Amino acid sequence: MLDACAELVDEVGYEGLTTTLLAERAEVAIGSVYQFFPDKRAIVQALTLRTMEAYLQRLNERFAQDDLTHWWDGVDAGIDEYITMHRTVPGFRTLHFGDVVDLHLLAEDRDNNGVIAEQLARVLVDRFGIADTPRLRFTLEIAVEAADSLIKLAFRRVPDGDEQVLAEAKALIREYLHRQVDTSTTTAE
């Protein structure tokens, strides 16, 4: 059902999605949909959580590779995975991490991009020895918001992502983080 939901969200958007359409696409009885989900919002929340888990799994796999030698390689990997998921994961382009449905889907006390920033902070601290400070977390929240907006712009301009906008987004985020992280939060290398 979640795969059918992802396809439909890309085709008709969140507003056009109905449980009836979902049941038809998934080739299940409408009662089966309601057996697992009380409404379309719950279905989309489940899809978004699955997407978030997939993103974090992909990041963990990328971060486990030895080719990440500096913290900005980790940032680039995070952006690259986000772009790849925009291009390849059904429903991701429309839903991202739930902002269409609920800005606090991933955590009640933080917005979705804040949760992503927190995950990136953990990786930068654990993998690259960057000092875990409130400033680091704030800086990453700003960077995630900016990257999210610019990546959305790239995919609005060109269906597969405007490469020029994507390159500028990465350069902007990297430069911003380089100034913020290198001057205020890194430990001695």
Residue partners of 147: CB distance under 8 A and separation at least 6? 79, 82, 169, 173
SS3 assignment, position 107:
strand
Q: Please state the domain count of the chain.
A: 1
Position 23 in a domain: no
**CATH number of the domain that residue 66 is part of:** 1.10.357.10
Q: In Å, how far are 99, 108, 112, 120, 149 from 102, measured between CA atoms?
A: 5, 10, 8, 21, 17
Can you give the residue range of the structural domain that contains 100?
Answer: 48-184
Position 4 in a domain: no
Spatial separation of the C-alpha atoms in residues 22 and 176, rounded to whole Å: 42
Position 9 in a domain: no
Position 176 in a domain: yes
Position 57 in a domain: yes
| Burial call 90-113: b when 16+ CB within 10 Å, e when fewer | bbbbbbbbbbbbeeebbeeeebbb
**pTM for this structure?**
0.79
Position 74 in a domain: yes
For each of the chain's 189 residues, which pLDDT tens digit applies?
A: 999 999 999 899 888 999 999 999 999 999 999 999 999 888 988 898 888 888 888 887 887 776 778 888 888 888 899 899 989 999 888 776 555 555 555 556 667 778 778 888 887 888 788 889 999 989 999 998 899 889 989 999 998 999 999 999 999 999 999 888 754 444 444
Position 31 in a domain: no
